[in-house]
Structure 1
Amino acid sequence: MSSISSEEELQGFYDSKPDAHLAQPPTLHQQHNVDSDCTQTKGLPPEIWSMIFSILEYEFRGATQSCLRWYAVTHVCRAWRNITLNDPLLWTDFVDPPPKAARELFTRSKDAPLILRLGSYPHHTDDTSFFCDYAVEHPERIRRLEIRRNGPFVNLLTKPAPLLESLLTTFDVEFPPDFLGGAAPQLKSVTCHGSLPLEASWLTNLTSLQCMKVYLEAPWLSNLTSLKFSSGWTDLGVGRLHVDMETILTALENMPLLQHLVLFPPYGVDTTPCKRSTPVHLRHLRNITVHFNFMVAMVTLFKHLRVDGIEKLEASWLSSSFVDPAVIETLCQFFATYYQGGDLYSWRQDGDLLALHRSFAEGNTPALTFRGYGPKSFAPFKTLLPRNMPRLLTVRLTAGSWRLRYPECDAIQELRIVSGYSSPVALKLPEIGVRASPPYPSLRRLHLELLSFEPKAKRIPLLRRWIARRHSKVELILQNCGLTAQDIEPLREVAHVVTM
């Protein structure tokens, strides 16, 4: 194995000698496995190793030639090889396996539930086409099914699939009336880049849907808890060339269990005003993402929708030129009405992204987000979201010009200025007039991360003057800013300096 220098060579090696490295591994690797020293790991039980190997297999899943990298652990030592060969769950997901080795790998899965990708091979051969044949004859073993192209095998999938949990199609697949025998009781998630039928008993228990084409009056939509309309989606209802907001609201009204909604503008939009007298009440809806793009009329949704409590609201536009202040006002009013969580005190400004968090922690999900919208003033939010004034503001710098955001906001107690790149970005602070009030009058902590102070003779004195205008010392945190102790000394006169 050490002579194999690249994944391409490894692919060729496996394809040329499938029997040698799979069907007859002892003849090729016996001496290597005997000589390998695994004494350092013999104390771990096989169950732990199976868990470790399953994590490794999952990490490589979906990557180019992932199988080749994953199989490498089977040739480290005999103990590892025996563990992997005795655990069929490690051999149930096939991501472009070497064609000549596919049957042997499939055999190792034994009776475990399978993840199959049908139609993913550009050229069907006897070494790979058996996946389709097996799926047709044994759908009871399929846990996840991905259909990568429309082929004759789709019309042959007419037997029930009792274990099927997830279905994905990447093309406009035409499902036959008796698809899966009309029975897939565990099918909960469907991602469909084509269309789904109006009547389909195999979709009865569906709870999560991402789609391009859909019948909004389909009865099987009633159990959905998660719905994502892909960009440019279409309603397949009879006689509908355009979708109006009334139709969308009526469809949502028939999804009483909905918790998560992602909405793009449909392919054709009817901007006729909605005349509903009562709002659609979705008691469980907690998470809403709306991509307005350039369709301002979609804000009507928030004028005719009622929820019991919103946890996350995200709105996006193609650019700030498509943002109507009235839309922002409607979104903020909706959020202020139905948001029941704790106060939002952390705001992040990153170009045209404005995100509001309950707390500032790595990986924390924001409660309110505007993408493609970089407000120049904080004043409107002070009126629209009076109880959510930011105490912490994070600004990510890019290589272009930068100016202070919302300097008039007296609620901000901590300001974080960080580089938007993996390398330092020049810190640029504006000069403050002698009689002018300092920005962020309540500031107590200034955190600077991965910033460049070059030329130091200019920028360090400017930072010192910028901080000195305050009545009390602030805490200044310098993280990866490339400053020496001599550089920092003048700053200690006006701030409590912490270096990281």
Structure 2
Amino acid sequence: MLMALQLDVLEGNVLEVLRLLRSTRNALAPISRIPPEVLAHIPDFWDHHGQDVITLTHVCQAWRDIFTSRSSLWIDFDCNNPHKTRVYLERSKSFPIRVVLLESEIGDLPLDDSALEIVSGAIGRLGSLAIDVAPEKFQDITNRLFRSAPLLESLDILMHPPSGANPNLVLPPLLFDGDLSSLRNLHLQGICTELPWRNMVNLISFQLGAPSSGEISLTHLLDFLEGAPRLLKVEIYLITLAEDAQRGRMVSLPRLKSISVRWLRSPSALLYHLVMPAGVKVAFELFHVEDFPPETPESLRSLSDFKEIRIKFSEYYEPSIRFTGSNGKANFKLYAPQAEAAWHTALELLGLLDVSKTEHLELICSGPISGDVLYAGLLRMTNLHTLTISQCHNLSSLVCVLDPDRDPSNVLVCPKLEKLILYIGTEREFDTLRMTNMAAARASRGSVLKFVRITSRVELAQVVLGLREQVLHLECESTVDDEDVSDEEDPDEVPCW
């Protein structure tokens, strides 16, 4: 090396000398000691989309050679620039590519027709495709997607028509030559489709919602689900179903883990035709209880060994009912203008399901709960072990319900109740004697309250004195802090008992 430098100096080739010195210095740098096969994996540890990948290739010639030969770094396409699209296609070689076609009014670069044409010629390499564009651009894009895509695993089409517009966007029946058997994830929103694809053997996640116009045929939807036996997750929302399915037709989803039906008129029209395994999580969001049928579908009846129930009506949250148990989970969200009406709605839903095996019940309500409503709800819970009532504004009504003497027939409500947890509001008129008598009457019938916890914003001295003799373990706390009210819990989390 030294002899070569001396010859170059003698020949006056100063630029070549500088180049050799720079390459020698680079070769001795610590980062140059990292093996190329290790260096090539460094971009896996950060978001290497867009300009970041290109910047890597401008550090030095060695880095350029390493990163341009790493095909998996060049698989993300946005179709904003035809030159960039060609370079990415060349460098990604045979890897499946990910294409995101996004065009909105918030500063996104416009889609380039030349770039779209280049990508449409490589449909056979599509691994995932996401489309979120204006309605006028949608038809132009889908017209290019007519060839088969055997590597496509994820398809997201999210349309957001302008307010007041009704473009009646329709998904072409021959999209990808009508064959989407390679799909694992499918999400369709804001477009019409009759779901013609039947061979969906690899599909594990399916979302369908808010078609731009018209109804979705229940028969076509069942055909689709029947062709997707490996489904793990189904979400359907804001859809009008045409109830044209043959009576008695049943479609089995043996691997299903969760199904969510939101804002769908008469969701049972779909559930009546589904056979779901034990352990599936079922979620509903209903505008009216009338949207639920008077008879429970067999698919839900098989899930009705619920061990825990949580009913929530608060001014801070939408009304909801959550069931959890060994055979499954169900979560109902209701929309009722008043708390009292919401309680009656909740009881109607509870009446559709078997709650005799329920062991834990939590009630959250910012308004008063009438004794008759509580009595009707608790009477069938013969195995209830724990009762939690948050934001209780009418303690006397609750005590009356649990007291065997409140009913001429002397029926014992919740005979196995052993644990009572109360979060009391600002009610000042405690009927201490009634509460003490209730505990004593239950004990005389063989139903001993072994644990009682009362958290209140008022003085509890009289309650403590009255119950100390009747309860095996009593905890009382007076507080003015909102943090003790359990209504601040995450509404999507099932409480721990």
What is the CA-CA distance between 1:484 and the residue it aligns to? Answer: 9.4
- CA–CA distance in structure 1, aligned partners of residues 392 and 247 of structure 2: 55
Q: What is the alpha-carbon root mean square deviation over aligned residues?
A: 5.0
- 1:299 paired with 2:274, answer no
- 1:444 paired with 2:404, answer no
- 1:393 paired with 2:372, answer no
SS in 1 for 2:235: strand
What is the CA-CA distance between 1:193 and the residue it aligns to? Answer: 0.8
Provide the residue aligned with 1:89 in structure 2: 44
Provide the residue aligned with 2:300 in structure 1: 335
* Contact 1:160–1:181 (8 Å) recurs in 2: no
State the AA in 1 paired with 2:282: E
What is the CA-CA distance between 1:393 and the residue it aligns to? Answer: 0.8
Of the candidates 307, 310, 319, which is equivalent to residue 345 of structure 1?
307
- CA–CA distance in structure 1, aligned partners of residues 419 and 307 of structure 2: 15
State the AA in 2 paired with 1:113: S
Q: Deviations over 1:322-346 (max 9, x none)?
A: 2227x3334444322x54xx93221
* Contact 2:356–2:380 (8 Å) recurs in 1: no
Structure 1 pair 475–250 and aligned structure 2 pair: CA distance change class (3 A): same
Map residues 415-454 of structure 1 onto 2, 5 A cutoff.
Answer: 415-417=386-388, 419=390, 425=391, 428-431=394-397, 432=399, 435-437=405-407, 439-448=413-422, 451-452=423-424, 454=426
- 1:407 paired with 2:354, answer no
- 1:473 paired with 2:448, answer yes
* Contact 1:389–1:411 (8 Å) recurs in 2: yes
- CA–CA distance in structure 1, aligned partners of residues 125 and 389 of structure 2: 49
SS in 2 for 1:495: coil
* Contact 1:453–1:460 (8 Å) recurs in 2: no
- 1:324 paired with 2:290, answer yes
Provide the residue aligned with 2:322 in structure 1: 355
Q: Deviations over 1:157-196 (max 9, x none)?
A: 14648886543333364446665974452x3222221465
Of the candidates 100, 121, 131, which is equivalent to residue 146 of structure 1?
100
Structure 1 pair 430–84 and aligned structure 2 pair: CA distance change class (3 A): farther
* Contact 1:136–1:159 (8 Å) recurs in 2: no
* Contact 1:114–1:141 (8 Å) recurs in 2: no
Provide the residue aligned with 2:331 in structure 1: 369
What is the CA-CA distance between 1:210 and the residue it aligns to? Answer: 1.2
State the AA in 1 paired with 2:101: I
Provide the residue aligned with 1:36 in structure 2: none
Provide the residue aligned with 1:216 in structure 2: 194
Of the candidates 272, 289, 311, which is equivalent to residue 259 of structure 2?
289
**TM-score scaled by structure 1?**
0.59
What is the CA-CA distance between 1:454 and the residue it aligns to? Answer: 4.4
What is the CA-CA distance between 1:141 and the residue it aligns to? Answer: 5.3
What is the CA-CA distance between 1:105 and the residue it aligns to? Answer: 5.9
Provide the residue aligned with 2:216 in structure 1: 243
Structure 1 pair 459–230 and aligned structure 2 pair: CA distance change class (3 A): farther
Structure 1 pair 454–330 and aligned structure 2 pair: CA distance change class (3 A): closer
What is the CA-CA distance between 1:446 and the residue it aligns to? Answer: 1.3
What is the CA-CA distance between 1:89 and the residue it aligns to? Answer: 0.9
Paired-residue identity, %: 13
What is the CA-CA distance between 1:470 and the residue it aligns to? Answer: 1.8
Structure 1 pair 250–460 and aligned structure 2 pair: CA distance change class (3 A): same
State the AA in 1 paired with 2:233: H
Gaps of 5+ in 2: 1-37, 104-109, 160-169, 314-318, 336-341, 478-497
- 1:104 paired with 2:60, answer no
Provide the residue aligned with 1:262 in structure 2: 235
What is the CA-CA distance between 1:356 and the residue it aligns to? Answer: 1.7
Provide the residue aligned with 1:30 in structure 2: none
- CA–CA distance in structure 2, aligned partners of residues 482 and 179 of structure 1: 65
Structure 1 pair 310–329 and aligned structure 2 pair: CA distance change class (3 A): farther
Provide the residue aligned with 2:9 in structure 1: none
Provide the residue aligned with 1:155 in structure 2: 117
SS in 1 for 2:244: coil
SS in 1 for 2:219: helix
- Higher CA-based Rg: 2
- 1:169 paired with 2:141, answer no
Matched residues, number: 386
* Contact 1:357–1:368 (8 Å) recurs in 2: yes
- CA–CA distance in structure 1, aligned partners of residues 436 and 455 of structure 2: 18
SS in 1 for 2:395: coil
SS in 2 for 1:370: strand
What is the CA-CA distance between 1:207 and the residue it aligns to? Answer: 2.4
Provide the residue aligned with 2:490 in structure 1: none
- CA–CA distance in structure 2, aligned partners of residues 170 and 142 of structure 1: 21
- CA–CA distance in structure 1, aligned partners of residues 355 and 455 of structure 2: 35
Structure 1 pair 456–106 and aligned structure 2 pair: CA distance change class (3 A): farther
